[in-house]
Amino acid sequence: MSQLIPVKEFAERRRKLMERMAPDSIAIVPSAPEKVRNRDVHHQFRQDSDFQYLTGFGEPDSVLVLIPGREHGESVLFCKERNPDKELWDGFLVGPEGAIERFGLDDAFPVGDIDDILPGMIEGRSRVYYPLGRDPAFDTQVMDWVKVLRSKVRSGARPPGEFVALEHMLHDLRLYKSASEIKVMAKAGEISAEAHIRAMKRAEPGAYEYQLEAELIHTFMSRGARTTAYPSIVGGGANGCILHYIENSSVLREGDLVLIDAGCELECYASDITRTFPVSGRFSEAQRQLYEVVLAAQYAAIDAVRPGNHWNHSHEAALKVLTQGLIDLGLIELSLDEALEQQAYRPFFMHRTGHWLGMDVHDVGDYKVGDAWRELEPGMVLTVEPGLYIAPDNFSVDEKWRGIGIRIEDDVVVTREGCRVLSEGVPKTIPEIESLMAG
Ligand code: GLY
Ligand code: MN
Ligand code: MN
């Protein structure tokens, strides 16, 4: 149960979704399935983000059904029944009555009865919204419910004719974060910032990357964020040039940088922070020069996050600063215009400057509307994460640059005036980092 998002907000989200649904339609939203890890051990359960967004209900084997205008309640939940014998082994179940009382659903039934009840709810509705094509087993199940109605047309049953992916409508709602969602995300950012500081303090030559990862997890867990939002990246030296390096098994060496990209998940909301710092606490001259370029690019990109600017503005701002920096340091031998035109930065910066952030680390929501980049609006949350990665085998640049990987990433919410950084609790200027590590 969400501690930070009130029950009535979930009802409000369902209402907003139903307002956008066609009249005479029904939406069916399943929970995430439990997944076997090995033999009788399951992976840690993580609720489906869409289902969580609409219910706050954390159990598997549940299905939310939205039926605008239904007399006995528009929001219906199917979930497991209470069962003292099972609960003794596997823990507390909310049950249909609890779902109504505690989660504000209008109506609820045991999920074991869904095949008997749901076809009757679909009957007479012309359109069915559901996560079409996401899970073949669920696609089949929806069609099985519809087949029940098709077999009864001679008795007057009216099966639906249209099946529409739910995601587009729902994901547009998820893109705009409410005040309480931003509160959760700010708290996640604060916890992750504290974790990064702890890991920075632990770094020293001879430590293993996974030992820094352990420090991150320690802070996440201690502060109530029981899982990471994605596998933590802790890359020392040239490992920092591998964008999704999660092996985290190498030893950290004197003179190298270490790149940590890690964020906790709190109440199903992600944070996503990257910091890069010297293993031994002091940047070398080459590291310092590249770092200052990335930091300047990040400031320029954050500065471009404000209402009225579009999604790509901050990427363009970062590209300009990164490219000019590479020219000034002699890694690119072209004019700025030529280098941007030819994308000469690509061997050193090959990803986007950010992504939407929310319940999913790479969150949902369109980046373009038609052919145009999406305009930023208050409540949208995104990351700003420029980097420079000089491959260890890039023989076209001076040796001193090779094997240096740097990324600086913060989480930023668009406000009416501009933006607010949700992850600023962890230092990122060179003097701040060096002074923290010296302490
Ligand atoms: N940690 C994944 C990303 O930064 O996009
Ligand atoms: Mn990241
Ligand atoms: Mn990111």
From first to last of the 439 residues of the chain, give the pLDDT tens digit.
788 999 999 999 999 999 999 989 999 999 999 999 999 999 999 999 999 999 999 999 999 999 999 999 999 999 999 999 999 999 999 999 999 999 999 999 999 999 999 999 999 999 999 999 999 999 999 999 999 999 999 999 999 999 999 999 999 999 999 999 999 999 999 999 999 999 999 999 999 999 999 999 999 999 999 999 999 999 999 999 999 999 999 999 999 999 999 999 999 999 999 999 999 999 999 999 999 999 999 999 999 999 999 999 999 999 999 999 999 999 999 999 999 999 999 999 999 999 999 999 999 999 999 999 999 999 999 999 999 999 999 999 999 999 999 999 999 999 999 999 999 999 999 999 999 999 8
Based on the residue annotation, tell me whether 261 is a catalytic residue of this protein.
yes
Question: Tokens representing 260?
Answer: 């940590």
**φ and ψ at 352, to 5 degrees?**
-75, 160
Q: At what angle do helices 313-328 and 285-303 cross, to 10 degrees?
A: 150
Whether 410 is in the pocket of ligand 1, judged by its Cβ within 6 Å, is no
Contact by Cβ (8 Å): 383, 409: yes
Q: Where do the domains of the chain lie, and which CATH numbers do they carry?
A: 7-173 (3.40.350.10), 176-438 (3.90.230.10)
Residue 53: predicted pLDDT:
98
What's the CA-to-centroid distance between 398 and ligand 2, angstroms? 28
Alpha-carbon distance of 436 to 26, in angstroms, equals: 55
Contact by Cβ (8 Å): 359, 47: no
Index of the ligand 1 atom closest to the CA of residue 407: 4
Alpha-carbon distance of 316 to 313, in angstroms, equals: 5
Index of the ligand 1 atom closest to the CA of residue 351: 5
Contact by Cβ (8 Å): 159, 148: no
Contact by Cβ (8 Å): 269, 174: no
Whether 272 is in the pocket of ligand 1, judged by its Cβ within 6 Å, is yes
Contact by Cβ (8 Å): 94, 54: no
Contact by Cβ (8 Å): 411, 264: no
What's the CA-to-centroid distance between 224 and ligand 3, angstroms? 22
What's the CA-to-centroid distance between 86 and ligand 2, angstroms? 39
33 DSSP assignment:
P
Whether 273 is in the pocket of ligand 1, judged by its Cβ within 6 Å, is no
What is the chain's length? Answer: 439
Measured by CA distance, the residue closest to atom 5 of ligand 1 is: 362
Question: Tokens representing 387?
Answer: 């980097």
Based on the residue annotation, tell me whether 210 is a catalytic residue of this protein.
no
Nearest to 115 by CA among 70, 149, 160, 164: 149
Residue 372: predicted pLDDT:
97
Whether 243 is in the pocket of ligand 1, judged by its Cβ within 6 Å, is no
Question: Tokens representing 84?
Answer: 């003292």
What's the CA-to-centroid distance between 272 and ligand 1, angstroms? 6
* 3-state SS, residue 295: helix
Residue 439: predicted pLDDT:
86
Contact by Cβ (8 Å): 254, 222: no
pTM above 0.95, yes or no: yes
Contact by Cβ (8 Å): 53, 169: no
Which of 196, 246, 264, 383 should be mutated for ligand 1, with most atoms under 8 A from CB? 383
List, in order, residues 6 or more apart from 187 with CB less than 8 Å away.
Answer: 4, 266
Exactly one of 181, 256, 261, 363 is catalytic; name it. 261
Residue 3: predicted pLDDT:
86
Index of the ligand 1 atom closest to the CA of residue 263: 1
Measured by CA distance, the residue closest to atom 3 of ligand 1 is: 272
